[in-house]
Structure formats: structure tokens, C-alpha cells
Amino acid sequence: MLPAHTRHVQRLYKQALSSAQNWYPLIDSYRPIALAIRYSFELNRNETNPVKLQSILSDTEEQLLKYKHPLPYRYPTAVDGSKYERNQWFEKNRNIVTLDRRPQKLDQTYSTNQSETQSNNFQIKTCCWNIERGYKIDLIIEQLKQLDVDIICLQELDIFNERSGNTNQFEMLCTSLQMFGFYASEFKEIKSNIRTKDLQGGGFHGNAILSKYDMKCFLVEHEHQPYNWAKDGHTLGQPRIGGRYIQYAVIKVDENAPEILCFNTHFECFSGIDGRLGQLTDLAYLSNKIRKEYPFQLLYGDMNTFAHSIARLSPKYCTDKYRFLSLFVLEPEFWYKNILNPKKYVPHINCSGWVDPFDPTTDYTITNHWGLMKAKTDWTFVLNMDITCHHMLNDDFELSDHKGLIVNIELPVSFKKDPEIEKSEFKSKEIIERNIGKINTHISMRIGFTFGVFMGIGLISSFLIKRFWK
């Protein structure tokens, strides 16, 4: 440890430099002053007389007090800085934040989108949408206002990140839509020079469930984490701390209706099929664990099922054996044929009864590279409830790089155990088998097309060789 006198001198020197920087913020004017301060300290470096030393130190302290700046510079996150304690509200809650901005608490919480039907069941409008860090959050809010959705599952919400204007998108959504929100952070985005302007962090990044109804909120970390962001995030130009989570809420629509269990997920994109199947295993395990208590479930999220087409050429997006073993098969089709298929029961991924109303081949939700890469990455699985209507939004990808999914569901007024659930599971098997039939047709067409192309190339090559080879 350094002597007390040495530490005291070092503190005075640092204070002198800080004071000079407050008065001369530009480097070309600050640098000469800093050199002069260094020179004055060096003049008395070898002084050993304690009386003289005391006099020199007293004079230095007086000078520092005399030239103290009335409004010194403070780091934004330091005490009294412009960003001091900005994120403290969030960090205290350990990645979970709830915000209720509903206009009033009604005795009967279910009020919107309820229509009189012969069955008197509840009609609920739901939405699942990856909003791409909320780059166009104002337009996204306007779109959601027009849709008047009851339950919304959003992925990729930013809070206080430079790339999205340092906004609190979660609070903006809850306030503008007048809904009860549940935000779960997956990553703390580290501000860094290696980030590009459109990826610059400084805040938090995660997912949210918004509802017009009361919710009980929960968060579980994925056991399977295919990508180590803390260790390798810098290689992608995105240094961050955190991991993937399963966010879920128990939603009470009405006193006369059973509760809905709503899951919201965002699977890892920098992995292959195998890594995402691990995360699907986590989701399926949690769903089945509490299925008896909550038989009516929504399992929504961006599950990043795009390990096909030209993505196979990238070791960044396809990192496992299925990169080429799933040739001619799209990743959503792979899920249908090998995981959702009731004839191929996978004990550790039990997805029985899950129904997604969108076509796994033609209803793509992302597209890039001039349309060469298309995929259904977003899923809306419904369990034990009837789907009355479904459609997509953001077809032109103007508001986000993902299409949004709208699903209208019918929740029964009363809970009937076995008959209704068995009927629902029979329906899901019928839908899945129908989709698998379509998938097999698409696969056969791809194989036939590829075979035809190679046959054509072979015939043309043979003709050219016979014609010009002498």
C-alpha cells in the first residue's frame, strides 16, 4: 500500500486535472494546462522537509478551491448525473417489471371484443409480434391501437438504448394502449465502440406481455442456452449480458371463465435446429408441468425457425448436424414432421394438442436477401381453445422485419374437463396431419425440381461436349 502522503498528492493531482477539464473541455486548450499542472507537481517531487511540504499542500488546496468550477462535469450515470438511477427501478426487480395503465378497474374485467354468441363463450383477440427493437415504435403503437387487441405478446422491446432513441418502449406501450404490462429483460446491452449506430446499446432488451385483464406474472430462465452471449457477443458486434427466458402469465379474463396461461418466448437465432429444439423442450416441459392446473394455454413467440435455404451456407446461423441433414426441408416443416407429428411421439418434447393456425410453408413471417430467404419464424400455438379467425399484419415489413400474427380465440365460459380437451386434441391431430400432407407435397416438388435442374445441366453439358469436343 502506498504511503498516506503519496495517496493525498495523487488525489490533489487528479482534482487539479478534473478542474482544468471543467474549464477547458476541448482537448487542444486543455492539454497545455494539464502539462503545466504536471510540471508544477514535478517541481516539488523530491521535497522532504515536512514544514515545506505542508505549506505546498495547503497552497495547492487553496488554489483548487479558488478555481473550482461552479457547474462541474458529471458522468451521466454518476450521482447527480442526468442518468443517475435511471435504471434502478428495473434492476431492483430482477428483470421483471409490471406496469398497470388501464383506465379503471372494473368488477367484470372482460369488457372489450366480447360479443353475444350462441355458446356465450368469450371471444378474445390476441397478437404475437417481434417489433425489431422498436425502431418505429410510434407507428407500431398506432397499428396496435387500430387493432384493439386483448392480449399482446411482443419480442425485442428496448428500454433506454441509443439505437432506439433512449426511449422506454414498455412504458410507452402500456400508457398509449392503456393496458396492464409485464416486461421481462433478457439482456443488458453494453454500450461499446464495436457496436454500429443501429445496434448501440446502453439499456435493456427483452419481451413483454400486455393485457386488458389481470395477470399473475412469472419468469423462468431457459435451461438450454445455445449461445453464450457474455463470452461471445462481442464477435457479433453486440456485447451484452444475459440469456434467453420463458416469460409467462396467468390471465384472468372474467370471474365466470377459466384462467388462460400465456407464454411469450424468443428462441436463439445464432444456433441450429438442435439448439432451438432444446429451448422448445424447456417450453414443453413447463407447459406440461402445469397443464392440469391451466389447460387453456397460449404458447406464442419468435422461435427463429429459419435454418434452411441460403441460411444453411452460414455457420453463424446453422451450427449443427441438421445444417445438411434436413436438406429439402424447411425448419418449420422439420418441426411438424418430427416434433408436432402425433405419429412420431418424442417423450421429452410433448407438444400434444398444440395448434398453430398458420401454414408452416407459405405463411412466412420474415424475408430477406431479395426474397431468397423466407421463413415462418413466429408461432402462435393454442391449446384447448377454438381458433375463430387468424391473419397477418405488417405484410410490407414497413414497421418491423417480422410480420405480426393476429389470432382470435374462443374461451369457454365454464371449465369442462375431459370431453372438451379430448375433442381439442383430436382437432389438433387432424390439422397437423393435414399440414404434414401439404409439407410432403412441397418436399417432393423441391426434390423433383432439383433433380430436373441437374438433369438439364447434365443434358446440356453432354450436348455441348459432343458438339464442340473434337
**Thinking of the domain 120-416, which architecture would CATH place it in?**
4-Layer Sandwich (3.60)
- How high is the pLDDT of residue 116? 42
Contacts of 257 (CB under 8 A, 6+ apart): 110, 122, 411, 412, 413, 414
Q: How far is CA 296 from CA 264, 348, 417, 419, in A?
A: 15, 21, 11, 14
**Kind of pairing between the strands at 180-189 and 297-302:** unpaired
Residues facing 407 on adjacent strands: 126, 390
**What Rg, from alpha-carbon coordinates, does the chain have?**
30
Decide if pLDDT at 53 tops 60.
yes
Longest Cα pair distance anywhere in the chain, in angstroms?
106
- How high is the pLDDT of residue 84? 58
Closest CA to 294 of 421, 423, 439: 421
Say what percent of the chain tops pLDDT 90: 60
Question: Comparing 102-116, 294-308, 334-348, 385-399, which segment has the lowest mean pLDDT?
Answer: 102-116
Contacts of 173 (CB under 8 A, 6+ apart): 137, 141, 144, 154, 157, 179, 181, 208, 210
- Which grid cell is 258? 377459466
Residue 367: Cβ-neighbour burial (10 angstroms; 0-12, 13-18, 19+) = middle
Q: Quick one: average pLDDT of 49-77?
A: 85
Q: Quick one: average pLDDT of 80-89?
A: 59
Closest CA to 143 of 155, 131, 161: 131
**Which long-range contacts (C-beta less than 8 Å, at least 24 apart) are formed by 417-425?**
417/295, 420/384, 421/295, 421/353, 421/384, 424/353, 424/355, 424/383, 424/384, 424/385, 424/386, 425/352, 425/353, 425/384
- CB 90, CB 41: distance < 8 Å: no
- CB 229, CB 271: distance < 8 Å: no
Decide if pLDDT at 88 tops 70.
no
Work out the mean pLDDT of the chain and round it to a whole number. 87
- How high is the pLDDT of residue 423? 56
- CB 342, CB 433: distance < 8 Å: yes
pLDDT tens for each residue of 278-294 = 999 999 999 999 999 99
Q: Which run of H or E residues covers position 224?
A: none
pLDDT tens for each residue of 391-401 = 999 999 999 99
DSSP string of 370-439, one letter each residue: TTTEEE--EEEEEESSEEEEEEEE-TT-SS-SS-EEEEEEEE-SS---HHHHHHHHHHHHHHHHHHHHHH
pLDDT tens for each residue of 156-199 = 999 999 999 999 999 999 999 999 999 999 999 999 999 999 99
Give the residue extent of every domain in the chain. 4-67, 120-416
Q: 61 in helix, strand or coil?
A: helix
Decide if pLDDT at 107 tops 50.
no
- CB 95, CB 245: distance < 8 Å: yes
Closest CA to 244 of 220, 260, 263: 220
Decide if pLDDT at 3 tops 60.
yes
> Which has more pLDDT, 292 or 348?
292
Decide if pLDDT at 72 tops 60.
yes
- Which grid cell is 251? 390471465
- How high is the pLDDT of residue 110? 42
| DSSP label at residue 70 | S
Residue 222: Cβ-neighbour burial (10 angstroms; 0-12, 13-18, 19+) = buried
Decide if pLDDT at 420 tops 60.
no
- How high is the pLDDT of residue 421? 56
424 pLDDT band, cuts 50/70/90, is: low
Residues facing 12 on adjacent strands: none
Contacts of 314 (CB under 8 A, 6+ apart): none
Strands of 214-221's sheet in order across:
214-221, 245-252, 260-266, 297-302, 378-383, 354-355
